[in-house]
């Protein structure tokens, strides 16, 4: 079974929807859409944690630290520590993160392509 690992802010930022006016709202909307996939999903966001309902099989996480590439580092660590990295599909358009997770055997799906699937 495929498990999606989503670079949350990368997906949100893949379209200029005005999300920057309501970042928490955009994050909640993404989690809601991810819940409709009916597949296991882990989404990792940058920024300060706040309460987001986790529908279905969505595991919502916030980067374990602040700063540049914080969520990327957590995603790369999640893939590196996975029992079966080949079962993971990482959603990001960040070339550096994509390279890091491919080295462990995970598949990469571009953020824009994935966002089209959600819409």
Where would I find the beta strands (DSSP E) of the chain? 3-7, 41-45, 58-62, 88-91, 107-109
Q: What pLDDT shows up at residue 108?
A: 98
Q: What pLDDT shows up at residue 119?
A: 85
Which two tokens mark 41? 């999903």
Which strand ranges, in their side-by-side order, compose the sheet holding 58-62?
Answer: 58-62, 41-45, 3-7, 88-91, 107-109
**Burial grade of 107 (CB within 10 A; 0-12, 13-18, 19 or more):** middle
Q: Where are the domains of the chain?
A: 3-118
Q: What pLDDT shows up at residue 55?
A: 84
Q: Cα-flanking dihedrals φ and ψ of residue 26, to 5°?
A: -65, -35
Report the CATH number of the 3-118 domain.
Answer: 3.40.50
* pLDDT per residue of the chain (119 residues) written in tens, 0 to 9: 789 999 999 999 998 889 999 999 999 999 999 999 989 999 999 999 999 988 888 999 999 999 989 999 999 999 999 999 999 999 999 999 999 999 999 999 999 999 999 98
């Amino acid at each position: 079974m495929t498990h999606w690992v989503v670079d949350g802010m990368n997906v949100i930022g893949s379209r200029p929807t005005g999300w920057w006016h309501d970042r928490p709202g955009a994050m909640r909307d993404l989690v809601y859409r991810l819940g409709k996939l009916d597949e296991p999903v882990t989404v990792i966001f940058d920024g300060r944690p706040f309460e987001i309902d986790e529908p279905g099989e969505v595991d919502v996480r916030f980067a374990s630290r602040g700063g540049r590439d914080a969520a990327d580092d957590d995603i790369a660590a999640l893939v590196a520590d996975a029992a079966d990295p080949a079962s993971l599909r990482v959603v990001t358009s960040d070339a550096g993160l994509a390279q890091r997770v491919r080295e462990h055997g995970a598949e990469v799906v571009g953020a824009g392509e994935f966002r089209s699937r959600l819409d």
